[in-house]
Chains A and B, each alone.
Chain A
Amino acid sequence: EPEVTQTPSHQVTQMGQEVILRCVPISNHLYFYWYRQILGQKVEFLVSFYNNEISEKSEIFDDQFSVERPDGSNFTLKIRSTKLEDSAMYFCASSRSRNQPQHFGDGTRLSIL
């Protein structure tokens, strides 16, 4: 069964540094999403992406964050000037259309030191 793949599984970064989290969505999916889960808390929506542009974003997704689909298979989340509170599990998801189920990857654990 096709799945969403995320790399790396764990990323450790110094505060203030930039980090890029990578995702390979399911190949015939057109909608892409990033969510995050701070330890012990609920999963929170960050952003959705369709047709090479952001289609919806949350208040968490400020100027520190950006997303990109640099080629036909990858979807990335960039966090500039990381802060301690950015430490979380970041999940990528994709869906065939807006009304189809969202399929999640296994996440990247981001630790900011």
Chain B
Amino acid sequence: QQQVKQSPQSLIVQKGGISIINCAYENTAFDYFPWYQQFPGKGPALLIAIRPDVSEKKEGRFTISFNKSAKQFSLHIMDSQPGDSATYFCAARGPQGAQKLVFGQGTRLTINP
């Protein structure tokens, strides 16, 4: 129940295309859902995050879509650029008072020029 399942494991998108990464969870007590971006040799960097009381959050080219009833959330990268090539992790935290982040398995995204 503490798992967050992420797909696909790897993704190749052409420059200018839309990259979509999906995550699903079981624990309805999760109350915070961040996405992290990780470049080789670096730590995860927070990209964007959402709480379950909203269905969508957009920051620049990055959008999280959240479906509470389906217990799924996804990251959309619009106008994908070669500089977006990285590993992306979804995560979840909760219930209230919990501090640990539960991470998905990661998606290696490659944007072809």
Interface residue ranges, A against B (CB under 8 Å) = 4, 6, 31, 33, 35, 41-45, 48, 50, 55-56, 58, 91, 93, 98-99, 101-107
Note all chain B residues with C-beta closer than 8 A to A107: 42-43
B22: interface (CB < 8 Å): no
Note all chain A residues with C-beta closer than 8 A to B41: 106
Q: Which listed residue, A6, A43, A44, A99, touches B44 by the CB 8 Å rule?
A: A43
Residue of B nearest to A45 (CB): B100
Q: Which listed residue, A45, A50, A99, touches B101 by the CB 8 Å rule?
A: A45
Note all chain A residues with C-beta closer than 8 A to B100: 33, 45, 48, 56, 58
Q: Does the CB pair B106–A42 fall under 8 Å?
A: yes
- CB-defined interface of B70-113 with A at 8 Å, one 1/0 digit per residue? 00000000000000000001010000011111111110000000
Per DSSP, chain A at the interface is strand
**B37 → chain A, closest Cβ, in Å?**
11
Give the most central of A91, A103, A104: most B CB within 10 Å.
A104
- How many angstroms between the C-alpha atoms of A101 and B106 in the bound complex? 19
Note all chain B residues with C-beta closer than 8 A to A41: 105
10 residue pairs of the A-B complex, CB under 8 angstroms, read A42-B104, A56-B100, A58-B100, A98-B99, A103-B46, A104-B36, A104-B45, A105-B43, A106-B41, A106-B42
Interface residue ranges, B against A (CB under 8 Å) = 32, 34, 36, 41-46, 49, 89, 91, 97-106
**B38 → chain A, closest Cβ, in Å?**
9
Q: Does the CB pair B103–A43 fall under 8 Å?
A: yes
Q: 5 shortest A-B CB distances, which residue pairs? A: A104-B43, A45-B100, A48-B99, A43-B103, A106-B43
- How many angstroms between the C-alpha atoms of A98 and B31 in the bound complex? 12
Q: Does the CB pair B99–A55 fall under 8 Å?
A: yes
Given contacts A101-B49, A104-B43, contact A31 B103 (CB under 8 A): no
Note all chain B residues with C-beta closer than 8 A to A35: 101
Q: Does the CB pair A42–B103 fall under 8 Å?
A: yes
Q: Does the CB pair B99–A43 fall under 8 Å?
A: no
Residue of A nearest to B106 (CB): A42
